[in-house]
Structure 1
Amino acid sequence: MTMRFAGLAAVSAAALLAAACSPSTEETAPATDAAAPADGAMTAEAPAATGNIVAVAQGNGDFSTLVAAVTAAGLAETLSGPGPYTVFAPTNAAFEKVPAATRDALMAPAGKADLTRILTYHVVPGRVDAAALTQQIQQGGGSAALTTVQGGTLTARAGADGSVTLTDAAGNTSRVVTTDVAATNGVIHAIDTVVMPN
């Protein structure tokens, strides 16, 4: 379920930050830092929202790389806005799968446009919780196409073990490891690999 980054260095780094900017649409996405359950099934955590998406991510140490990327891309204000947004948030471990040189290039001022494109690919307009995402997958006969703020599509699928994976434009996959992290302006779903737009 890990993404292949060969030949995608520039895109990979940007994807690491894509989890923080999205208009409004319905999709579900993993959004906290938690290890995947042993059986691979999605786990739901729905505590009361205590802040907006950016504030919630800032309060979780496993999203520090994402927060830095969102800040570098200038998306913090957008993701702190009314939304609602669904963010498929890569954890720090997910970002570590992207080559360090690529991450550094994306975080530099010259990489801002690419970083923004990757981060917005991780955001779906609207509030799509785990139950809604599961329903979309069932209604789609096993998959659901999610249109991101970036304009691309992520395909969500359910595994036999109850796990949910996202397939990006290049065919790489990421697994949702934590769902339904509540924010006042949306929901976060944590994922184990950065996804990439075309």
Structure 2
Amino acid sequence: MNTNLTRRGTVAAGVGTLLIPLALMLGTPAQADVRAEPVGPACASLPQEGEGSAEGMVDDPVATAASNNPELSTLTAAIEQAGLADTLNDAENITVFAPTDEAFEKVPQADLDALLADEDQLTEVLTYHVVGEEVAPGDLADGTFETLQGDDLTTDEVDGAYIVNDSAKVVCGDLETENATVHLVDTVLLPPESTSSPS
């Protein structure tokens, strides 16, 4: 009788020992789900509240989130012109290297107008900015990623900044939307066959 009680006590103690770390493990996802703050010099120019803010973008799919961000008005217009809004919104776990309005201002106006008027080429250029997987900032230090357009883009870390294709700087990284990670870049990326001009 005493032996049975002793065994039961030992088993109960063993179960208790197992339950404590299990409870701690179950609490871990809530902590891991806390997203890091976006980082980069252009993050300061984002709205501090509302749908266009970093916090507000989390609730919308990426094309919708971009349309609410004042830094991405030209990109939004290009996405609509190419008919890609639904495609981007319906995708899962993608990464968008999103050119800011200042990035589009670097493109000569005649070339930009020609690009916007050519839906096929516009689609090529825009889908070259999208990677079909989640690319966190830690992956940008030395990466090669296949884009939805089909060609690869490369990323590197230079003097503490992330550079895409040796030309575009990530000016605000790790913005999260409902279905995508967004890195704002300061230069429009062009597929290899289009590197001379977007026209």
TM category (shorter chain) comes to 0.5 to 0.7
Return the index of the structure with the highest Cα Rg: 2
Size of the alignment, in residue pairs?
146
Match of 2:176, as an amino acid? A
8 Å contact from structure 1 (residues 33, 63) kept in 2: no
Match of 1:175, as an amino acid? K
8 Å contact from structure 1 (residues 107, 115) kept in 2: yes
8 Å contact from structure 1 (residues 53, 80) kept in 2: yes
- The CA distance in 1 between the partners of 2:70 and 2:55, in whole Å, is 17
- The CA distance in 2 between the partners of 1:82 and 1:154, in whole Å, is 19
Match of 2:109, as an amino acid? A
Match of 1:162 in 2: 160
Identify which of structures 1 and 2 has the higher relative contact order when contacts are C-alpha pairs closer than 8 Å and 6+ apart: 1
TM-score (norm 2): 0.67
Match of 1:64 in 2: 73
Match of 2:186, as an amino acid? D
- The CA distance in 1 between the partners of 2:41 and 2:126, in whole Å, is 20
- The CA distance in 1 between the partners of 2:40 and 2:81, in whole Å, is 21
Cα gap change, 1:120 to 1:65, in 2 (>3 Å)? same
If each structure's helix is expressed as a fraction of its own residues, which one has the higher value? 2
Cα gap change, 1:104 to 1:177, in 2 (>3 Å)? same
- The CA distance in 2 between the partners of 1:33 and 1:103, in whole Å, is 26
CA root-mean-square deviation:
2.4
CA drift of 1:153 comes to 1.1
TM-score (norm 1): 0.68
Amino-acid identity (%)? 39
Map 1:144-163 → 2, pairs under 5 A: 144-159=143-158, 161-163=159-161
Match of 1:85 in 2: 94
Provide the secondary structure at the position in 1 that maps to 2:134: coil
The runs of at least 4 aligned residues of structure 1 exceeding 2 Å deviation read: 31-37, 45-48
CA drift of 1:33 comes to 9.5
Which sections of structure 2, spanning at least 5 residues, go unmatched? 1-37, 45-52, 194-199
